[in-house]
Amino acid sequence: MSMRLAGYECLFAESGREALDLLDTNDVDLVLTDLWMDDMDGYGLTKAIKLRPSLRHLPVIALTTDRTPEQHDRLRRAGALAVIYKPFKMPELVAAVVRALGPDSTSSGA
């Protein structure tokens, strides 16, 4: 099951900088970010989102294999609403998105 199969519209970016460009030109309701990306990692992307007045309201869910408490705390301090550890099952990710957006959120542009 993918986020699209769960009823969400999705945009994809290869890097944190590309994600910021997409956020500047598209109306989105939530950001899912991997921690490890080229150019700007998920931590930097989360901080950049939270520093922009027009984006700071966006919930950010970070995906990572790094299970250290330090990394979790660092992501939460940067503004991540939740941290999902890989590997994960799609129902776990969908549940986190529903918690962030509300139960009536499908087809709203996650």
Q: What is the pLDDT of residue 11?
A: 94
Q: What are 73's two structure tokens?
A: 């705390």
Q: What is the pLDDT of residue 103?
A: 76
Total domain count, the chain: 1
Residue 2 lies in a domain: no
Residue 97 lies in a domain: yes
The model's pTM: 0.88
Q: What CATH number does the domain containing 44 carry?
A: 3.40.50.2300
Contact by Cβ (8 Å): 84, 63: yes
The parts of the chain modelled with pLDDT lower than 50 are: 1, 107-110
- Give the domain range for residue 32: 16-101
